[in-house]
Amino acid sequence: MATVLSDELLQQIATTWGTPVYVYHAEKIKEQYERLLKAFAKADVRFFYAAKALTNISVLKYVKSIGCNIDCSSINEVQLAVKAGYTPENILYTSNNIHFSEIETAHDLGVHINIDSISNLRKFGQKYGHSYPVGIRLRPNIMAGGNLKISTGHSSSKFGIPLEQLDEVLALVKETGLFIRTLHIHTGSEIKDVEVFARGIEVLLEVVQLFPELEVVDLGGGFKVPYKPNEHGTDIEQLGQKVAEEFEIFKKRTGKHLQVWFEPGKYMVSEAGHFVTSVNVLKESAEHNFAGIDTGLNHLIRPMFYGSYHKIDNISNPSASHKHYNIVGYICETDTFAENRSMPEIREGDLLVVRNAGAYCYEMASNYNSRFRPAEVLVVNGQPHLIRRRENLDDLLVGQVDLF
């Protein structure tokens, strides 16, 4: 199975559909999913793809076709999942500070729901009592993740119900008869250290006994994938082993079997994505060689927003001798993709490919500076398919009311 996209194919796609263009490799997504299944084979685990990473409907359908479930972070994502053909049993809605009406809609659609505030939990209990199993998202007060912006489980995070408020949750359960089936945590994104997941498991297993009807422990997403050359991601095999062991020990001790859920986003799609751009302008100054590309923070904001590193390859001139470049965008802001990066010599018109562009890249794109959002292409069995056309001027005006 070919899991590497050739530069020739990326070049061909750029010629056919122009640049900038996002290219996703279906078999790479499948490879990642199969690696998860293998690593966790000894545990009772279900995976829900965190759709927020990339929601193109063809990607959602592909993920479904390989047997993966889906995790949603808005009611619109839930609706997209339904459109993509997922059944309610395979859809999870992990909510975060949302209006209760979205939870009502999710309930009516029959999907799994994780609730993250006492306020919504109370409304849920008062309205549905014991009739509908529900999950609660806890804040375990664990610091985790690649940087503070993507760290969600620490003691000043807005996410989840703080662990120290469990008494209130228990009182609510008693008062309204809530059927708590799932305890959920998600401590952050890009968690390399298996020990961090182990701490999360430890925290949850200490409190599961308080919920006699519990069936599922949901450990969220956050598996790290390598972005930099020579960087390592989470040791999935070690984590799979750890999860199997911990839950087996728990079962022996308590007689209770718990299913484990995970919600991987980046792990599923990050490495499958390649963002193909071309060089508009070269500019030399005393300090820097600038390579200005035909995109910017409007299309891929991760380097500017999180300081994230993305590998960038010059696929038009790969064997040229190296020079140092600041690779910058065309937006009227400082949108630097890479600073002082050693690259094969760049010429105007060269194609530069930003790697690891599957997760949170197109998904966080905007129309800033009234730029069009790029096209998206999915490569399946070596064949490229357009799955979203590039926008045009009409798209910029859609929904606007021309008052004058």
Residues at the interface with ligand LLP (CB under 6 A) = 50, 53, 71, 94, 150, 186, 189, 220-223, 263-267, 302, 306, 359-360
CA distances from 324 to 55, 200, 287, 293, 321 (A): 35, 42, 10, 15, 10
CB of 215 to ligand LLP, least distance (A): 19
Q: At 194, is the secondary structure helix, strand, or coil?
A: helix
The least CB distance from residue 52 to ligand LLP, in Å, is: 6
Q: Which residue is nearest to ligand LLP (CB)?
A: 265
Residue type, 270: S
Of the pair 92, 351, the CB lying nearest ligand LLP is at 92
> What is the closest distance, in whole angstroms, from the C-beta atom of residue 137 to ligand LLP in the complex?
7
Q: What angle do CA 401, 403, 404 make, to 5 degrees?
A: 140
Residue 118 vs 396, nearer CB to ligand LLP:
118
Is 332 designated active site? yes
Contact, 218 vs 182, CB < 8 A? yes
In the complex with ligand LLP, the residue whose CB is nearer, 132 or 306, is: 306
Distances (CA, A) of 345 to 205, 280, 313, 352: 54, 15, 11, 11
- Supply the minimum distance, in Å, between the C-beta of residue 308 and ligand LLP: 6
Nearer to ligand LLP, 288 or 355 (CB): 355
Q: Are 284 and 264 in contact (CB under 8 A)?
A: no
Given the residues 68, 72, 332, 361, select the one marked as catalytic.
332
**Among residues 35 and 127, whose Cβ is nearest to ligand LLP?**
35
- How far apart are the C-alpha atoms of 190 and 144, rounded to whole Å? 8
Give how far Cα 266 sits from Cα of 97, 216, 234, Å: 23, 23, 12
Strand, helix or coil for residue 240: helix
**CB proximity list for 167: less than 8 A, separation 6 or greater:** none
Q: What angle do CA 226, 228, 234 make, to 5 degrees?
A: 20
Q: How far is the CB of 163 from ligand LLP (least distance, A)?
A: 16
Active site residues: 332
